[in-house]
Amino acid sequence: MTKLQIKEKIVLNKYVIKRIGLAILTIFIISLITFFTMNAIPGGPFDSEKATTPQVKAALEKRYNLDRPITEQYVLYMGNLLHGDWGVSIKTGREIWPTMSQSFGISAQLGGVAILVSLIFGIILGCISALTRNTLPDRLIVFFTTLMTSMPSFVLATLLLYLFCIKLGWIQVWSASSHNYILPIISLALYPMAYITRLTKTSMLDVLGQDYVRTAKAKGVATWKVIFKHTLRNALIPVITYVGPEIAYIITGSLVVENIFTIGGLGQKFVNSITNRDYTMIMATTLFLAIIMVIANLLTDIAYKVIDPRITLD
């Protein structure tokens, strides 16, 4: 390794450490916000409709450590979290983690496929748009993406549901017997796809104007090789930066989309816990999803810096 490489490595390591530090701090702050806002709600979790005697209430509060001072409660909660104990739902009385992990599996599948679909189609459409600039295909793609970025996911999901399930009857409405992921995936993937298309297009156009692309063309390199080897590989670097925010978008989008298509994923559980005012469940889910988002952003940022050495690190 040359001296320069070693120096670059040190800078990169420093950046990674700094970024991880910020992520941990963010998660800590999120946990503080969730814990203390949840505790700001008037009325304890055991002031339910069912009449509980003071003794029973006291016993329950002792069981869940609610008789301790709030700061101590927070420390206990965080300690339990680190052991994988997410607490107990105050509405159902069940452990949160089994429900959460199970429903998260469904959501993760759905979201993962949506991300893949949006990336693949977004990049393809972006390339077509950049290569056929200012002609009909490009204009159609631009029109389509502009429309898509102006449509909230719930509007899109309900329209799709109405069109394909009710009006045309092509796809069965989601039920216990028929699981069809097509519509939920489309409604989750279209907005990020439109965004990726735009991103790929601008970045492609930028790279196509670079000197090395002209050199490759002048050398007589085949067109497809210029596009795939010289242009696309470099044009995709900015697209990577969007994967982190996209995961955040998919997670929040799945809250409504899962509800519309009645998929029993984490999004639906979360919204149900909001309507039921199941505070411990809200808290656990918020924290869980927030941690995923922060980690996704962290990985995206680091991947971006590692892949593109031209990015200056401060």
Partner 1 sequence: MSNENKMPKKNILSAQIDLSKFELATEEEKRQQDVMSESTTFFKDGMKRLRKNPLAMVSIVILILLLAVILISPKVVPYSYQDIITIDGVRDKTAKNLAPFQYSKMEQRYMAKGEKVFPHIFGTDEMSRDYFIRVVYGTRVSLTVGMFASVIVLIIGLIYGSISGYAGGRVDLIMMRIVDIIYSLPDLLMIILLSVVLGDVLGDKIQNTIFAKLGANMLSLFIVFGLLYWVSMARLIRGQILSIKSNDYVLASKAIGTKSGRIIRTHILPNCLSVIIISIALQIPSAIFTESYLSFLGLGVQAPMPSLGSLANAARSGLTSYPYKLFFPSMAIVLIVLAFNLLGDGLRDAFDPKLKK
Residues that bind partner 1 (CB under 8 A): 22-23, 25-26, 29-30, 33-34, 37-38, 40-42, 146-147, 149-152, 154-155, 158-159, 161-162, 166-167, 248, 251-252, 255-256, 260, 271, 274-275, 277, 282, 286, 289-290, 293-294, 297
Q: CB-wise, 31 or 236, nearer to partner 1?
A: 31
Amino acid at the residue 26: T
- State which residue, 170 or 212, has the beta carbon closest to partner 1: 170
Taking the complex as a whole, the smallest distance from the CB of residue 5 to partner 1 amounts, in Å, to 29
> Taking the complex as a whole, how short is the minimal distance between the CB of residue 155 and partner 1, in angstroms?
4
Helix residue spans in the chain (DSSP H): 3-39, 54-63, 70-82, 96-131, 136-148, 153-160, 182-208, 211-219, 223-225, 233-235, 237-260, 266-275, 279-307
What gap in Å lies between CA 113 and CA 107, rounded to an integer? Answer: 10
Q: Which residues contact 128 (CB under 8 A, 6 or more apart)?
A: 137, 138, 141
Cα distance between the two ends of the chain: 22
Min. distance of Cβ 245 from partner 1 in angstroms? 10
Q: Which residue, among 190, 139, 179, 182, has the nearest Cα to 161 in the 3D structure?
A: 182
Amino acid sitting at position 234: N
**Residue 169: CB minimum distance to partner 1, A:** 11
Select 158 or 180, whichever has its Cβ closest to partner 1. Answer: 158
Cα separation, 133 vs 103, whole angstroms: 44
Select from 254, 259, 264 the least CA-distant residue to 106: 264
Would you say 227 or 249 has its CB closer to partner 1?
249
Q: Is 239 within 8 Å of 196 (Cβ atoms)?
A: yes
Nearest-approach distance from CB 225 to partner 1, in angstroms: 32
The answer to whether the CB of 236 falls within 8 A of the CB of 200 is: yes
Taking the complex as a whole, the smallest distance from the CB of residue 163 to partner 1 amounts, in Å, to: 9
Cβ distance to partner 1 smaller for residue 97 or 154: 154
Q: Which is nearer to partner 1, 110 or 283 (CB)?
A: 283
Helix (H, G, I), strand (E, B) or coil at 95: strand
Closest approach of Cβ 84 to partner 1, in Å?
21
CA 121 to chain centre: 18
The Cα–Cα gap between 274 and 31 comes to 18
CB closer to partner 1 out of 22 and 221? 22
Question: In terms of CB distance, is 64 or 270 closer to partner 1?
Answer: 270
The answer to whether 59 and 244 are in contact (CB under 8 A) is no
Crossing angle of helices 153-160 and 237-260, in 10° steps, is 60
CB of 125 to partner 1, least distance (A): 19
Smallest distance from the beta carbon of 211 to partner 1, in angstroms? 22
Q: Which is nearer to partner 1, 226 or 253 (CB)?
A: 253
Cβ atoms < 10 Å from Cβ of 9: 11
The radius of gyration of the chain's CA atoms, rounded to the nearest angstrom, is: 25
